[in-house]
Amino acid sequence: MKVVLAIFAVAGLLYALHRVALWAEGRGWVYYLNRKPSSSTLGNAFLEIQSMIEPEKRPFVEVRKEEAVEEDEWGEPLAVTIRAEAEGDHAAVRRINLRAFETTLEADLVDAVRPAAQPLVSLVAELDGAVVGHILFTPVMVRDGETTSSAIGLGPMAVLPELQRRAIGSRLVEAGLEACRELGEHAVVVLGHADYYPRFGFRPAAEFGLHYRGPDFDPFFFAAELENGAFEAIRGMVEYLPEFENA
């Protein structure tokens, strides 16, 4: 009888620990302990980043514990086609952002930015005729006292959850950077994580004298030259479109 009671006690304890773990993961605690930092999107104060810096503020672009794009490519890369977003893709892009993120914030942001951003680089990843991923690049202003210059910001980016970690996000970033270069853009910035963006040529933006909001964001703010020497003439505080800041 004692053995049976002991088995039930252990089972009850394991169940209780499991429920606590699920609750902690829901709060984001287990995520920080057991997972790598997210790779994802934008000129973005991600929820993960902003929660570490300013817990009381909601970020204007968020990536939460359910990633919008892969942390690293796992499994066989998928043979997707990367192309410019067409008007007929808007509904599919919205569905992807709604699936990839926990709220409508990113989906609403993409819809709001499309008519406001010039230049705008908006690409989709297509698999077997279906749109499965999306990336957006929009203009940013860089202010240094009375001097202003321009660059372009990466994000939001999203991939359908079931197809993440299959190199789709990497393909979108690479194609997006090349599209920005073809438009004549000289530099790109992104708010993200140090284990992901350096593979695409990004370095800490502070090395170039670029900052977003304040020094607390420096560890998460990255920049890449699309033209050699671009940052010799670009430095200061980076400002995104009002749609981002007001989201």
Report the pLDDT value the prediction gives residue 27, as an integer from 0 to 100: 30
Supply the pLDDT for residue 123.
98
Token duo for residue 1 = 């009888």
How much is the pLDDT for 233? 86
Contact 132, 168 (CB under 8 A): yes
Report yes or no: 236 and 209 within 8 Å, Cβ to Cβ.
yes
Q: What CA–CA distance (Å, rounded) separates 168 from 73?
A: 8
Nearest CA to 42 out of 92, 129, 116, 101 is that of 101
Tokens 């709604």 found at: 98
- Are 46 and 38 in contact by the 8 Å Cβ rule? The answer is yes
Angle of helix 105-113 relative to helix 90-100, nearest 10 degrees?
Answer: 150
pLDDT in tens, 26-44: 333 222 222 333 333 343 4
Give the DSSP H or E segment for 174: helix 168-182
- Per-residue model confidence as pLDDT tens digits over 173-220: 999 999 999 999 999 999 988 888 999 999 999 999 999 998 899 999
The pLDDT, as a whole number, for residue 111 is 96
Count the helix, strand and coil residues of the chain and give each as a percent rounded to the nearest 5: 40, 25, 35
Beta partners for 191?
Answer: 221
pTM listed for this prediction: 0.72
Task: Grade residue 74 by pLDDT with cuts at 50, 70 and 90.
Answer: low
Give the contacts of 45 (CB within 8 A, at least 6 positions apart): 53, 59, 60, 61, 62, 191, 212, 213, 217
Q: How much is the pLDDT for 69?
A: 45
Radius of gyration of the chain (CA): 20
**Are 213 and 44 contacting, i.e. CB atoms less than 8 angstroms apart?**
no
